[in-house]
Amino acid sequence: MSYEASRQLEFDRVLELLAQRCQYSVAAERAREIGPTGDASRVAYLLAVTREAVTLLTTYPSFTVGGVRDIRPLVERARRGSLLSAGDLRDALDTIQAARELRRTFFKIPDANELYPNLSEFVEAIADLAGLEADLGRTVGPRGEILDTASERLAEIRREVRIAHRRLLDRLNRMLTDAAYAGAIQDAIVTMREGRYVIPVRADRRAQIPGVVHATSASGQTLFVEPMAVVELNNRWRELQMAEEHEIEAILRARSDQIAAAADDLDQTVEAVAAIDLALAKARLAFSMRAVEPILVEASGPGAPGGHPRHRIDLRQARHPLLDPDTVVPIDVRIGETYRILVVTGPNTGGKTVALKTVGLLTLMAQTGLFIPAADGSALSVFSAVYADIGDEQSIEQSLSTFSAHVTKIIAMLRSADADSLVLLDEIGAGTDPQEGSALARAIISALLERGVIAMVTTHYSELKAFAYVTEGTENASVEFDLRNLSPTYRLLLGVAGQSNALAIAERLGMPREVIEAARSYLSPGTERADELLTEIRRRRAEAEKALAAARDQQRAAERARRQAEEALREAEQARAAAREDALAELAEELREARDLLRRLRARAEAPATPITPAERPASQDVEELGEELRRAQERVRQAARRRRPRTAPAEPLRVGDMVEIPSLGMEGEIVGFADGGEEADVQVGAFKVRQPVSALRRVRSAPAPRQATRVTVPAAPSVDQEINLLGRRVAEAQEELETYLDAAARASLPWVRIVHGKGTGALRAAVHEMLQRHPLVERFETAEPNAGGDGVTVAFLKG
CA angle 124, 126, 132 (to 5 degrees): 135
Cα dist from 438 to 402, 428, 443, 453, 466, whole Å: 16, 8, 9, 20, 12
| Cα(726)–Cα(185) distance, integer angstroms | 83
How far is CA 331 from its chain centroid? 22
Start-end of H helices in 332-433: 352-366, 402-416
Q: Assign residue 666 a region: left if phi > 0, alpha if psi is -120 to 50, beta otherwise?
A: left
DSSP string covering 182-241? TTTBSSS--EEETTEEEEEEEGGGGGGS-EEEEEE-TTSSEEEEEEHHHHHHHHHHHHHH
* DSSP state for residue 427 in the 8-state scheme: S
Task: Give the CA dihedral 286, 288, 290, 296, nearest 10 degrees.
Answer: -20
pLDDT score recorded for residue 710:
38
Residues 6+ away with beta carbon under 8 Å from 768? 726, 734, 735, 738, 755, 757, 794
Task: Go through 60-72 and write b for each residue having 16 or more CB atoms within 10 A of its CB, e for each that does not.
Answer: bbebbbbebbbbe
CA angle, residues 109, 110, 114, in degrees to nearest 5: 100
Do 748 and 760 contact (CB within 8 A), yes or no?
no
Inter-residue contact 428 to 457 (CB < 8 Å)? yes
Q: Which CATH architecture has domain 295-501?
A: 3-Layer(aba) Sandwich (3.40)
The verdict on whether residue 346 carries a ligand-binding annotation is yes
Q: What is the pTM of this model?
A: 0.63
Max intra-chain CA distance, the chain: 147
The answer to whether the CB of 486 falls within 8 A of the CB of 457 is no
Is 347 within any annotated ligand binding site?
A: yes
CA distance 109 to 56: 10
DSSP element (H, E) containing 277: helix 263-289
Q: Give the angle subtended at the CA of 340 by the CAs of 335 and 345, to the nearest 5°.
A: 75
Amino acid at 480: E
- CATH class of the 645-716 domain in this structure: mainly beta
Q: Could you write out the DSSP letters of every residue in 649-698?
A: --SSPP-TT-EEEETTTTEEEEEEEEETTTTEEEEEETTEEEEEEGGG-E
The count of other CB atoms within 10 Å of the CB of residue 488 is: 20
Gap between the Cα atoms of 640 and 633, Å rounded: 11
Q: Are 336 and 454 in contact (CB under 8 A)?
A: yes
Instruction: Describe the strand order of the beta sheet including 341-345 as a list of residue ranges.
Output: 385-389, 421-425, 454-459, 341-345, 474-482, 487-494
Which of 3.40.50, 3.30.70, 1.10.3470, 1.10.1420 would CATH assign to domain 12-129+262-289? 1.10.1420
- List Cβ<8 Å contacts ≥24 apart for 297-305: 297/379, 297/380, 297/381, 298/40, 298/381, 298/382, 299/336, 299/337, 299/381, 302/337, 302/338, 303/336, 303/337, 303/338, 304/337, 304/338, 304/339, 305/472
- Parallel, antiparallel or unpaired: strands 331-335 and 313-318: antiparallel
Domain boundaries, the chain: 12-129+262-289, 152-255, 295-501, 645-716, 723-798
**Among the listed residues 238, 159, 163, the one whose alpha carbon sits nearest the alpha carbon of residue 195:** 238
pLDDT at 343: 92
Q: Which residues pair with 222 in a beta bridge?
A: 202
Q: Mind giving me the DSSP string for 719-751?
A: ---SEEE-TT--HHHHHHHHHHHHHHHHHTT-S
- Gyration radius of the chain over CA positions: 44
Q: Rounded CA gap, 577 and 575, in Å?
A: 5
How far, in Å, are 53, 288, 390 from residue 11 at the CA level? 22, 17, 13
pLDDT score of 500: 59
Give the span between the Cα atoms of 437 and 431, in whole angstroms. Answer: 8
Q: Which residues contact 585 (CB under 8 A, 6 or more apart)?
A: none
Closest by Cα among 218, 250, 464, 255 to 352: 464
CATH class, range 723-798: alpha beta
- What are the C-alpha distances in Å from 36 to residues 33, 43, 370? 10, 8, 10
What's the N-to-C CA distance of the chain in angstroms? 57
User: Identity (one letter) of the amino acid at 244?
Assistant: E
Give the CATH number of domain 152-255: 1.10.1420.10
* Whole-angstrom distance, CA of residue 288 vs CA of residue 271: 25
Whether 152-255 and 12-129+262-289 are alike in CATH topology: the answer is yes
DSSP annotation of 149: G
Question: Rounded distance, CA 790 to CA 756, Å?
Answer: 10
CA distances from 443 to 18, 436, 446, 473 (A): 40, 11, 5, 14
Residue 55 neighbours by CB distance under 10 Å:
16
Of 777, 771, 774, nearest to 794 (Cα)?
Answer: 771
Segments of the chain scoring below 50 in pLDDT: 394-399, 529, 644-651, 706-717
CA neighbor of 723 nearest in space, from 756, 747, 748, 750: 756
- CA 337 vs CA 300, 334, 345, 487: distances in Å: 11, 8, 21, 32
Of 110, 107, 127, 101, nearest to 119 (Cα)?
A: 107
377 labeled binding residue: no
The rounded distance, in Å, linking the Cα atoms of 128 and 265 is 8
If one counts every other C-beta atom within 10 angstroms of the C-beta of residue 643, the result is: 9
